Structure 1
Amino acid sequence: MALKPEPTAPFPSVQYALRVLETVSRHGDGVTDAQITRETGLPAGRLASLLRTLRREGYVEQIGDGAYVVGASLLLLGSGTTRRQALEDRLQHTLDQLRDSIGAAVYLSRYADGEVSVEQVADGPLTPAVNEWVDFRSSAHASAVGKCLLGQLDHDARRDHLSRHRAARLTSRTITDEKILFSQLDAQSPTVPVLDLQEYAVGTVCAAVPLTAGSSAGCLALSLPIEDAHRLRSAADALSRQAAPVLLSLAL
């Protein structure tokens, strides 16, 4: 699997957050926001916003004198044998928060070993997950998740995928022509969510935003029943705005 030469949908705030965490980690007894500003070069306004996010996610904590120290979430992620479970729990907690905030089922997916993989889902009675009536691995051409992941691959990797998973017509809206599909993927802006308007399943609309961390293609997605289709654009925008904590967890 080959990614495009330039990663899609960069989140500069995640890179800044990692710099802040590195600085906090170097100061075991705590470090003030003024010192963090000096060591990272970040403007005070941007730093304040990042610190609020990092505190909310449990990556840093503020002690009595106002200094910042490493938080419980970051300590768990660095604890060796429990790291994988801690990361999954951290991601699930973040996905659950997104589900409740946006009011939609939320999915974390990757493209690994030539296949689409939905790794974690946050759904509930009021936010049901999409019915996987066709295996997601075989329907990348039709789903928001699949198109978002394919859009992060180079041309040869896409063709390889479709040679193994032929583009079948799942609904009247499904694109099955490879040339048209690739053209749409190439025209897709990395800053605009990928949409599925009943292309995978009648009665369901979806949106996905890319999460590119290193050499791994991933995405964050949501689904809504067709009666809530009027909320899709605003929900997709909210998903994009709130994706940074998920990417940060993946980058740690």
Structure 2
Amino acid sequence: MSMHRTGRPAGRTTAPAADGAIRAPRAPTLITSVQRALRLLEEVGSHVHGATAKQLARSAGLPLGTTYHLLRTLAHEGYLRREDGRFYYGDSVGGISRADTRQSERVRLRGRMEELRDELGAAVYYAVYQDGEVRLVDVVSGTGQPQVEEWADFRATAHAHAIGLCLLSQLGAEERLDHLSRYRPAALTPSTSGDVRTVLRRLERVRPTMPVLERQEYALGTVCAAVPITVGSVVATMAISLPLEQGDRLGPAAARLRCLVGAMFPAFVRGGGGGAVG
């Protein structure tokens, strides 16, 4: 650590008080009750068969009255549960653990998407169909692999881009009709179909597990492909986009994407399916 000639650590300053005296810098303010609550949670975890309030107060070094108050609060919020006078972890603690797991899966998924981007030379997208909506979970692009600019809401234009068409193709007939009744197809470009019946016929022709290709239907100058991800009840897709001048690469890149995605799931699907990575 570098020092000034005064002997004080560099970067730390003191200011004169109103009376001219030099006051030492204040230490960070810590919320004592939070510290104590976390200490109690740690102690509960160290007792496999649960622990009484007195045991927890003794092992955490806290007054018994404070311990009772904090335990009641933690139990009320679901972080602890009490059975026969002993305290155990509650469901809310499990929620923290699951959130951490989802975050780890999200990081791993993004890393894999970056590998796909580099191998395929294309921007990579991961999306799900959740609660009746198209949800774009993540996009990985690069200097030479620009992502498609969302100039029209992806959720409302599923009929016009590969991601939406791939997701809708995995739904049942009633769900497709419901979606298209809420988001009526519109001709975004000269290549887009704005007719519901035409869109439905196209969806019926999509072969399961095969890529869906789209050329300049959502945005001029861009071609896209999406492959379905079918694991359990999850409706998801991985997609790529390329500039129009590289359109001849779309078919081979989509076929390669289909092979590579098969090795990724279901290991990552938990991160983006029901809870959707993010």
**If the TM-score is normalised by the length of the shorter chain, which range does it land in?**
0.5 to 0.7
2:236 alignment partner, one of 196, 218, 221: 218
* Cα distance between partner residues in 1 of 2:125 and 2:145: 12
* Cα distance between partner residues in 1 of 2:269 and 2:243: 32
Residue 239 in structure 1 maps to residue 257 in structure 2: yes
How far apart are 1:192 and its partner, in Å? 2.5
How far apart are 1:245 and its partner, in Å? 3.4
* Cα distance between partner residues in 2 of 1:242 and 1:217: 18
Task: Note the residue ranges of structure 2 that are not aligned, 5 or more in a row.
Answer: 1-96, 271-278
Aligned AA for 1:187?
R
How far apart are 1:81 and its partner, in Å? 4.5
2:159 alignment partner, one of 134, 141, 157: 141
TM (norm. structure 2) is 0.61
TM (norm. structure 1) is 0.67
Aligned length: 175
Which residue does 1:57 correspond to in 2? none
Which residue does 2:39 correspond to in 1? none
How far apart are 1:214 and its partner, in Å? 1.2
Which residue does 2:131 correspond to in 1? 113
Task: Say which SS state the counterpart of residue 127 (structure 2) adopts.
Answer: strand
Aligned AA for 1:106?
V
Cα pair 1:141 1:147 within 8 Å, conserved: yes
Which residue does 2:114 correspond to in 1? 96
* Match runs of 1:54-69 below 5 Å: none
Which residue does 1:35 correspond to in 2? none
Highest RCO, 1 vs 2 (Cα 8 Å, sep ≥ 6):
1
Calculate the aligned-residue CA RMSD, in Å: 1.5
1:174 alignment partner, one of 175, 192, 197: 192
* Cα distance between partner residues in 2 of 1:94 and 1:123: 13
Residue 82 in structure 1 maps to residue 100 in structure 2: yes
2:176 alignment partner, one of 122, 141, 158: 158
Q: What are the superposed Cα offsets for residues 92-142 of structure 1, whole Å, 9 maximum, x if unpaired?
A: 001000000000000000000111011011111110100111010010000
Cα pair 1:208 1:222 within 8 Å, conserved: yes
Cα pair 2:210 2:228 within 8 Å, conserved: no
Task: Note the residue ranges of structure 1 that are not aligned, 5 or more in a row.
Answer: 1-78
Cα pair 2:186 2:195 within 8 Å, conserved: no
* Match runs of 1:36-75 below 5 Å: none
* Cα distance between partner residues in 1 of 2:269 and 2:99: 18
- Which of structures 1 and 2 has the bigger CA Rg? 2
How far apart are 1:190 and its partner, in Å? 1.7
Task: Say which SS state the counterpart of residue 149 (structure 2) adopts.
Answer: coil
Cα pair 1:144 1:195 within 8 Å, conserved: yes
Aligned AA for 1:122?
V
